[in-house]
Amino acid sequence: MIAGTAALYASYPSRSVDGGFTPSLVATANAQPAFEVPSSTKARERDAYYPNSEDLRPDEMRVIACGSGMPTTRAAQAAACFLVELGNGDKFLFDIGSGSAERISSLQIPYNYLDKVFIGHLHTDHFGALHDLFIGGALMGRNVPLRVWGPSGATPELGTAYALDHMNKMLTWDLAGRAGYTDFRGYRMDVTEFDFKLVNEVVYQENGVTIRTFPAIHAIDGSVSYALEWNGLKFVFSSDTYPNKWFIEYARDADLAIHECFIAVPDLVRKMKFTPESALLVGTQVHTAPEAFGKVMSAVKPRMAVAYHFFNDFDTSPAVFERIRRTYDGPLSLANDFMVWNVTKEDIRVRMAVVDDHTWAPPLGAPPQPPSLQDRKDFAARAGLDASKVGFGEFTKQGFWDVDDVLRPIYQEASEAVGREFKYPGD
């Protein structure tokens, strides 16, 4: 019998003569469950998560997969990103892989609440959407700095601080080209780099939430995993790793344990066009093979094991599932984008979220400020730029074509609608 089968039947009311489960398929009057006629007009509970339609209980943790895929991009699955929401109001992002910022935006969460990101390692499928969250999040209302944590590497150039310092340098034109046009307070990043060799040490402790890091083994030195503990609940995220002793030790007793699980080797050859040589290396040595994932979870024994980092298709997930089941028979989720886990001490409910694609900015977390040209001067000083060069020079200025006659009325229209005067630029 598959583990937990009886629980699956729990919602079917059993009314046998002795009050217990009746294995017989022969129906008797007493064995029939009470039948309730569904209303044809009233709303009723649905088996999906609709963002912003449910309160989070004070003792509840909700985890949403905003990316569950692979380093190769696809429309159906973004790369690694898991959002943890806690009943105390705190939210955390673990990894922010390519494509995940769109998933995050679909949840319509005020961006001030999405200001804490923990990066497991610096492969783009784990932090490739950071600049999208940084820039797009500020444009959609984050007016506090983005806080980012990540590991050191074997040398300073291989660490998080180096990568994000250079990301900020890469964004010099982007930021210079926004300063003075919008509320600029959110365009700052606070980076905390910690030693990748820390073993189960605290890297974050605020508001009753403790986040610890421990080493992972992936690609080269400088990969880590995280454990978040709050209110007697424990969430663990491996990022990428080969099975390792630290995960076995520090993920133990997790309520939700998320560990990478790569696609089965034959499918790496068939679907990814790898040679058998590289499929064997990548699928078993660089990453965690499904059979090895199962062995890890059999040792960790979480309340719910989550496998991610494979394309979860109808023709490839059966191989992943069957291979995991060779070594693990406990509770298991094969992650897909927008899978949702509601975790309490009594229950772990797994559903899919149904989201809007055509979303705009969510509600603002704090009142916005109008733009100020001082922001441009401040940014120039911060970036070491000549402030007189941040703007338009004479060459560009002489190219403006005069459409003032159609733009001035827009200012008048806004002034009348809002009830105060917006001065036309240059007046």
What's the min distance (Å) between Cβ of 91 and Zn ion? Answer: 22
CB nearer to Zn ion: give 193 or 240: 240
CB nearer to Zn ion: give 144 or 282: 282
CB nearer to Zn ion: give 125 or 255: 125
What's the min distance (Å) between Cβ of 80 and Zn ion? Answer: 6
Pick the piece of the chain touching Zn ion (CB under 5 A) from 6-14, 120-128, 341-349, 388-396. 120-128
What's the min distance (Å) between Cβ of 328 and Zn ion? Answer: 21
Closest by alpha carbon to 240, among 309, 194, 189? Answer: 309
Interaction mask 225-244, Zn ion, x per CB under 5 A: ---------------x----
Residues whose CB is less than 8 angstroms from the CB of residue 70 and which lie 6 or more positions away in sequence, other chains included: 77, 79, 125, 263, 309, 310, 311
Looking up tokens 């694609």, which residue turns up?
357
CB nearer to Zn ion: give 240 or 267: 240
Q: How far apart are CA 387 and CA 372, in angstroms?
A: 14
Among 60, 85, 125, 267, binds Zn ion (CB under 5 A): 125
What's the min distance (Å) between Cβ of 78 and Zn ion? Answer: 12
* Assigned token pair, 2: 């598959």
What's the min distance (Å) between Cβ of 287 and Zn ion? Answer: 8
Pick the piece of the chain touching Zn ion (CB under 5 A) from 116-124, 177-185, 241-249, 314-322. 116-124
Strand pairing partners for 149?
118, 192
Residue type at position 244: N
What's the min distance (Å) between Cβ of 201 and Zn ion? Answer: 22
What's the min distance (Å) between Cβ of 153 and Zn ion? Answer: 13
DSSP annotation of 218 reads: S
CB nearer to Zn ion: give 143 or 288: 288
Length of the chain equals 427
Within residues 320-379, the interface with Zn ion by CB under 5 A covers none
CB nearer to Zn ion: give 267 or 375: 267
Strands 146-151 and 116-118 come out as parallel
Among 62, 91, 103, 123, binds Zn ion (CB under 5 A): 123
- Encode 343-358 in three state secondary structure: ECCCCEEEEEECCCCC
b/e map 354-374, b = 16+ CB within 10 Å? ebeeeeeebeebeeeeeeeee
95 near Zn ion (CB under 5 A): no
# chain residues binding Zn ion, by CB under 5 A: 3
Burial label, 104 (beta-carbon count in 10 A; 0-12, 13-18, 19+): buried
Which residues here bind Zn ion, judged by CB under 5 A?
123, 125, 240
